[in-house]
Structure 1
């Protein structure tokens, strides 16, 4: 009888431990969830559809949400582009040549020979956090992106964005140096 009681207690402890642990991917699949694609914020929405009973299982199968991209801000951005590519990317040329960059004091425009337009997003220490290709973006999208993702600086109205030319010390003609 004592042996049976100990066995029953061991089974109950094992069941309670498993109920507090996260489910495996196979367990979640059996419950109808795809563990790698289920974000925990989606479990909160189950109440809206009268599916509260699924919420505990959903919480054990979900992946914690990262901070949404719309909330991430960066201390500084560098827009790098080659002026020779302006014909291919007139929307980027329009952004650069308009007064729009002046709205962003922590934006630097850097001309790099032969480079398609990219944006480098930096933290406060100047370390690159993300690099994005903006070849398919229109002028309004570029401006909206900087409004959303660049940290606002304390001095409003200050237009101190900078433009950096390609750093070539030699005066040689670029096309002449590429001749055979």
Structure 2
């Protein structure tokens, strides 16, 4: 009888945790960043045979904004310090590849001591948003720019540096 009471007490203590979301600390301990995790990301886990993580992911995620169109910007500036290329090899690979030439409205600026960021500007040149990209790979950077930059067809070989 004492065991039954102990088990029921234990389950009563766990009930608030099973019926509510995990705290930020709980999510961090599970490997999720609650502040940045969108629920649509949880849907991607089964593709990588991570079905066991879906339940915990759902407890840590924020619903995606539905019905909102992606914001489109007229100019982007990727800022990074060359001294930190060793810490961010994917960003270095993106910068040294042909990919930046695909975006005539992308500028690369080297700023001493700065972790990699992308600054996004409106058509009047006013800064609208800054995005930290230190954990991104080359494909993520390219996909982000494809999604959020105005498409410019630029055949001027002098502007694109292509001879």
Q: Match of 1:104?
A: 103
Could you tell me how far apart the structure 2 residues matched to 1:78 and 1:129 are?
12
Number of equivalenced pairs = 97
CA contact (8 A) 1:107 1:161 kept: no
CA contact (8 A) 1:102 1:159 kept: no
Q: Match of 1:73?
A: 72
Residues 91/75 of structure 1: CA separation in 2 closer, same or farther (3 Å cut): same
Deviations 1:91-136 (CA, angstroms, capped at 9, x unpaired): 0000000000000000000000000000000000110000000001
- Root mean square deviation of aligned Cα: 2.3
Could you tell me the TM-score, scaled by structure 2's length? Answer: 0.54
CA contact (8 A) 1:81 1:117 kept: yes
- Following TM superposition, by how much is the alpha carbon of 1:155 offset from its aligned partner in structure 2, in angstroms? 3.0
SS of the residue aligned with 1:79? Answer: strand
Q: Match of 1:61?
A: none
Unmatched tracts of structure 2, length 5 or more = 1-64
- Is 1:151 the counterpart of 2:145 in the alignment? no
Q: Match of 1:134?
A: 133
CA contact (8 A) 1:79 1:120 kept: yes
CA contact (8 A) 1:82 1:114 kept: yes
CA contact (8 A) 1:104 1:159 kept: no
Q: Match of 2:53?
A: none
Q: Match of 2:81?
A: 82
- Following TM superposition, by how much is the alpha carbon of 1:67 offset from its aligned partner in structure 2, in angstroms? 6.4
Unmatched tracts of structure 1, length 5 or more = 1-64, 163-180
Could you tell me the TM-score, scaled by structure 1's length? Answer: 0.49
Q: How does 1:24-103 map to 2 (within 5 A)?
A: 68=68, 71-103=70-102
